[in-house]
Amino acid sequence: MKKKNFKKIAKNVIELEIQALKKLKDSINNSFNQAVQAIVKCQSKVIFCGVGKSSKISAKLSSTFSSVGSPSFTLSASDASHGDLGSISKKDILILISYSGETNELKNIIQYAKRNKIILIGIVSKKNSTLYKASNIKLYIPEVKESGYGIVPTSSTSAALALGDALAIAAMEQKKFDKMDFKAIHPAGSLGAKLKTVEDLMIKGKKIPFISENQNLKKAIKVISEKKLGVLIVIKKSNNISGIITDGDIRRIVQKNTYLPEEKIKNLMKKKPISVEKDTLAAEALEIMNSRKITSLSVYDKKDKKKIIGLIHIHNILEAKIA
């Protein structure tokens, strides 16, 4: 058997899909704007449905929509005709995906949508098809060349997926669905870790290594040993920050033979320490630490930059597997 050039095959498949996406990009028109506006105004669910490969695309897009602020689910085309049409309400939006637009299993769904005046968005490649003609909003996918003897759904499915993703992101941005909204519904996994804020991980309450600026160096050594964080936040009244002093600072004082047990901390501390607001992403705080070659940052509430409400240590971030 003649050995196949698999790298060449791979490049050909990818090239066909790139060309499909370019054609899709050039075809985007005002219908896309109408679809986004309808999705943003939707007071209920965005329901996806397709058959075969389009069913798999529907499932992925439904998941994406739900994760970016547009509640969604996937409807089984076969089950729809056996009672599941009842899961569609008049406030929903129905998005049907079909390359030909003539998939038999979708025809009952199309009729139900028209009969109940449910907004129907069709993602379809045949302009003379039943789905295209019936859709309130028509999203056209240009006809493209498929891989695998020109019969395996590859380029067309990539185009449908890309168009659906574009709808999801456009609706997300219009709704002003931001990182914190995204974090709220992605609490676990690597995404959840990346979106953790300083407030999620910081040391709080009695564990914060505070020391009054009027305390002496002897007291500072005792407190820094007890807290085991290598740093003390020097404060005035009401937890207002005055400066910081680290275990490294104390060692250098001792090494220089300038150790004065009764010397006040305010005369030894570093003034104007680097602080971050509590809603700062932990990943951003880590970048600051790495760039400044420090291991901790004091944390303030955005209402008052001088009032310290916590301490974020590099170990807190690394333990959360944020790197």
For the chain, which residues make up each domain, given as ranges? Answer: 6-177, 198-319
Q: pLDDT tens, 9-60?
A: 999 999 999 999 999 999 999 999 999 999 999 999 999 999 999 999 999 9
Query: How far apart, in whole angstroms, are the C-alpha atoms of residue 275 and residue 72?
Result: 40
DSSP character at residue 306: E
Helix H or strand E segment including 35: helix 30-41
Instruction: Give the CATH number of domain 198-319; options: 3.40.50.1220, 3.40.50.300, 3.40.50.11240, 3.10.580.10.
Output: 3.10.580.10
User: What pLDDT does 199 receive?
Assistant: 93
List the beta bridge partners of residue 79.
none
pLDDT greater than 80 at residue 258? no
CATH homologous superfamily of 6-177 equals Glucose-6-phosphate isomerase like protein; domain 1 (3.40.50.10490)
Q: Where does residue 147 rank: exposed (0-12), middle (13-18), buried (19+ CB within 10 A)?
A: middle
Average pLDDT over the chain reads 92
Query: How far apart, in whole angstroms, are the C-alpha atoms of residue 241 and residue 211?
Result: 10
Query: How far apart, in whole angstroms, are the C-alpha atoms of residue 304 and residue 266?
Result: 21
Q: pLDDT tens, 270-297?
A: 898 899 999 999 999 999 999 999 999 9
pLDDT greater than 80 at residue 323? no
Location of structure tokens 């320490």: 273
Residue 75 tokens read as 């409807």
User: What is the arrangement of strands in the sheet containing 296-301, beginning at the earlier edge strand?
Assistant: 275-277, 296-301, 304-313
Q: How confident is the model at residue 178 (pLDDT cuts 50, 70, 90)?
A: confident
Cα separations in angstroms, 100 against 127, 174, 236, 243, 308: 9, 31, 72, 69, 62
pLDDT greater than 90 at residue 122? yes
Q: Is the dihedral of CA 96, 124, 156, 166 positive or negative?
A: negative
DSSP string, 41-109: H-SS-EEEEESTHHHHHHHHHHHHHHHTT--EEEPPHHHHTTTGGGG--TT-EEEEEESSS--HHHHHH
DSSP character at residue 125: S
